[in-house]
Amino acid sequence: MRPDVGPAAPVAGPAGTSPPGAPAAFKVAVAVVSLMVVSAAAIGVGVVLGGGHQPRMHVAAGGPVELTSLPSWMASHYRFAAMHTHAYEQVPCFCGCDATLEHRSLLDCFVRPDGAWERHASGCAVCTDESEMIRAGLARGSPMRQIRSEIVDTYTMDV
């Protein structure tokens, strides 16, 4: 060994430790990579145990509701749907209410076939998000086919 060079420092210490004198950035990088590996393993176990299926959405209850029992921002969605039935009838709802509540379109989420208000939309973020997309699209003068297409594209994107 040359006298001007000391013994070589170990490249790594015991498992899970960083080399002596390693910069803080190295230690952080090791921690981040370790966390990523553990997270990936946990996701893999979840997919295997869960069968790889996405969790089912909870569909808000159906039934009649009085608008006076709702916050004003929510009641405004109901009134807008009632004034724009032609628009809401053209849009499918993507929350699963078609299967559980037999809704045929987004209009059914707000207005019952007998003309009463439908409770479902008041507890469903998907319904109110779709309603907001219709409101925004109509406000900017978009044709209904474009608004419908945007909503369908939003909720049918591959994940």
DSSP character string of 49-81? HHTTPPPPPPPPP-SB--GGGS-HHHHHHHHHH
Interval 45-100: pLDDT, tens:
444 444 444 444 568 888 999 999 999 999 999 999 999 999 999 999 999 999 88
Average pLDDT, integer, range 140-144: 98
Specify the number of domains making up the chain: 2
Specify whether 73 is located in the same domain as 39. no
Residue 22: give the domain boundaries.
1-53
Residue 62 counted as domain residue: no
Specify whether 6 is located in the same domain as 78. no
Specify whether 35 is located in the same domain as 84. no
Q: How far is CA 133 from the centre of its chain?
A: 15
Specify whether 80 is located in the same domain as 135. yes
Q: Are 110 and 117 within 8 A, CB to CB?
A: yes
Neighbouring residues of 133: CB distance < 8 A, sequence distance ≥ 6: 147, 150, 151, 154
> What is the rounded distance in angstroms from the CA atom of residue 110 to the CA atom of residue 78?
6
Specify whether 135 is located in the same domain as 71. yes
> What is the rounded distance in angstroms from the CA atom of residue 110 to the CA atom of residue 9?
71
Specify whether 71 is located in the same domain as 135. yes
Interval 35-45: pLDDT, tens:
555 444 444 44
- With H, G, I as helix, E, B as strand and everything else as coil, classify residue 64: strand
Residue 15 counted as domain residue: yes
Specify whether 144 is located in the same domain as 93. yes
CA dihedral 9→14→18→21, nearest 10 degrees, is: -40
Specify whether 78 is located in the same domain as 113. yes
pTM score: 0.63
Residue 74 counted as domain residue: yes
Specify whether 43 is located in the same domain as 78. no
Long-range contacts of 34-37 (CB under 8 A, 24+ apart): none
